[in-house]
A and B are shown apart, each in its own frame.
Chain A
Amino acid sequence: MNGKTVTINSRELSLSNLDKDMYPPYGFTKTRLLEYYSLIAQFMLPFLEGRALTLKRYPQGVDRDFFFEKRCPQHRPAWMETAEVPYGEKKVITYCMANNLESLVWLGNLASIELHVPMAKADSPGNPDSMVFDLDPGDGAGVLDCARVALIVRDLLSGLKLESFAKTSGKKGLHVFVPLDPGKTTFQDTKTFSRAVAAIMQKKFPGLVTARMNKEYRRNKVFINWSQNDASKTMVCVYSLRAVEKPSVSFPVSWKDLEKTASQKDPGKFQVLAPEASALAEKKGGFYRELLGMKQRLPHTWA
């Protein structure tokens, strides 16, 4: 059975290619992808809500061609909520939003394996509600190096009375988020701040950290990608599947667990796969919810 019509919240969706293996040869069909997003929806939706989505679609599975899609497809159902957000100076793009389960399932049916979200909500696209440190290991470095950097960044921030939250990228990196008050924050603020942090980290830990994009500088080091703090950038949403060999997901890690895993030196523990994710989110993901609505302010001494 390759297609099927389902009703979610009294809205009809026709699902297609359900037997298609999205992660060959691992074996994770579109049915399982949709099941995953349905189960994780209660944890994930709060992080998607009100945000202009960038879809990373893999119609033929993760080992084949993909494309980024910002424009919400024309053939979307009438109930699909969208947001008009400026793109560059002159253009406005109509984005999909996933504000409810049926939207998430509809997007999953488009083989949108990865869902990426901006740092700001669509109704105020110039005002980020968080700042991110995208920790990306270069060749020769790994998630354990990212964990070391994440812990230093956490301490550095807490010295400035800023709380932060970590999640795995679902690949090899870690993302450290600092929730902020969007009413008091611009991308200029988050960019200046994160860039300064990256610069000082590079200065103090030159063997571990680089703030430079260039691949040659990244070998054996963790690249702190501060430039993600930009209105035009998106980060993979927490709980989103990643298009790697296995259906791994971007998943919250508490600082306690992160310290523990880092000291055990077991990088495998950072990987969370879709089948275990919803049970684990139930058990361990609760803390990450605090990120939402925590309205911190960046120190304005420098503004």
Chain B
Amino acid sequence: MMMQHGKAKAARSNGKKTESAPHEAPAQGIWSGTVSFSLVAIPVRLVKLVEPGRISLHLLHAKDFSPLERAMFCPEEEKIVPQEEIIRGFEIEPGKHVLITGEELESVSPERSRTIEITEFIDIKEVDALYYDHPYFLVPLKGGEKSYRLLAEAMHRTARAGVAKFVLDDREYLVVIMSRDGALAVSTLHYSDEILPENALAPAAEASEENVIKKTIQGMMTGFTPEKYSNDRREKLLSIINKKVKKRAEVEAPEPEEEEAAEGVADLMSALEKSMRATKKGT
């Protein structure tokens, strides 16, 4: 029954865009181009460094297990709105919008870049951890190995990181390029205006209280060993899935639930009633 599931999924997602790709092989390149600074250009491939631990569950119609699709609903007309009738607007006051056309959106989209152009080098310690978003690795392509290694080593020795702007999937990212164990890692960063100002959040504390907390923290200090922590929800969900797959738990779609007896068929009902009365005498 696992097989049924797998098959249906594979067949149905044919040619369809999927939003996430959690099953992507870790080393699969998601972009290739060059990383460059000054006169140096190194051909590289960008690969994901982490596999997001998300387990993707499909939304199915309970009555027959058909995979569901998203549709846009108009509450005014109480109907599903087809793609060609959908436009975009920015709300300027309740109920009032300025329209943004597809062309306008396109005109502000950055062009796909083939290079990660390092414009500055910084001290990596200056980057606040809050800014780090998604980590990737750069893998050297043919002909780029030597300069890749040289760059990685030089950055490692000097504890410097390169800053660059780079377009991936229609979005321009601010990234840092860092040296890690002889390889170049890239992390996308949040833009500073995406990070909420913290002065509004931090209340003033009394010095005496601060000392107590400092002591408590000291007492709880340990080294950071990420292996100690696991995504419990993921582990538990995986174990449920595996158990069900093993037990061949039912994946066959049930029949639909019926509503109350059909309405608007009064004549039919009375004809049936009549026939039923004739029948019942015999049983």
Contacts and interface: CB of A to CB of B under 8 A. Distances in A.
A228 B63 CA distance: 12
A196 B261 contact: yes
Interface string B231-274: 00000000000000000100010111110011001111101111
Nearest to A228: B255
A288 interface: no
Contact of A192 (B11, B248, B262): B262
A-B pairs, 4 with minimum CB distance: A159-B275, A199-B261, A302-B268, A67-B4
Interface of B: 1-4, 7, 11, 64, 66, 248, 252, 254-258, 261-262, 265-269, 271-276, 278-280, 282-283
Contacts, number: 88
Contact of A152 (B265, B267, B283): B283
B255 A299 contact: no
Interface stretch (A5-13, A20-28, A206-214, A269-277): A206-214
A195 B1 contact: no
Interface residues of A, number: 35
A67 B252 CA distance: 9
B258 A211 contact: yes
B64 A65 contact: no
A227 interface: yes
B267 A301 contact: yes
A204 B280 contact: yes
Given A199-B261, A211-B258, A66 B4 contact: yes
A211 B256 CA distance: 11
Contacts of A245: none
Interface in A153-172: 155-157, 159-160
Interface of A: 65-69, 71, 88, 151-152, 155-157, 159-160, 192-193, 195-200, 204, 211-214, 225-228, 232, 299, 301-302
B3 A301 contact: no
B267 A213 contact: no
Contacts of A68: 4, 252
Contact of A226 (B258, B267, B268, B279): B258
Contacts of B252: 68
Chain A at the B interface: mostly helix, strand, loop or mixed?
Answer: helix
Given A65-B2, A159-B279, A213 B254 contact: yes
A302 B283 contact: no
* Chain B interface SS verdict (over half): helix
Contacts of A302: 265-268, 271
B258 A196 contact: no
B268 A71 contact: no
Contacts of A155: 275, 278-279, 282-283
Given A65-B1, A67-B1, A226-B258, A197 B272 contact: yes
Contacts of B283: 151-152, 155
Given A67-B7, A302-B271, 13 more contacts: A66-B3, A67-B3, A192-B265, A195-B258, A195-B261, A196-B261, A196-B268, A196-B269, A197-B272, A213-B255, A227-B255, A232-B64, A302-B265
A138 to B, nearest CB: 13
Contacts of A66: 1, 3-4
Contacts of A212: 257-258
Contacts of B254: 213
Nearest to B252: A68
29 contacts: A65-B2, A65-B248, A67-B3, A67-B4, A68-B4, A69-B7, A88-B66, A156-B275, A159-B279, A160-B271, A160-B272, A160-B275, A195-B258, A195-B262, A196-B268, A196-B269, A197-B272, A198-B258, A199-B261, A199-B262, A199-B269, A204-B280, A213-B254, A225-B255, A299-B268, A299-B271, A301-B267, A302-B265, A302-B271
Contact of A156 (B11, B258, B279): B279
A71 B273 CA distance: 43
A121 B98 CA distance: 52
Nearest to B268: A302
Nearest to A160: B275
A68 B4 CA distance: 6
Contact of A213 (B4, B258, B276): B258
Given A152-B283, A195-B261, A301 B248 contact: no
Nearest to A88: B66
B258 A65 contact: no
A112 to B, nearest CB: 13
A152 B258 CA distance: 22
A199 B2 CA distance: 36
A72 to B, nearest CB: 12
Contacts of A192: 262, 265, 268
B265 to A, nearest CB: 5
Contact of B257 (A200, A204, A214, A232): A214
A212 B254 CA distance: 13
A52 B254 CA distance: 21
Contacts of A299: 268, 271
A159 B261 contact: no
Contacts of A160: 271-272, 275
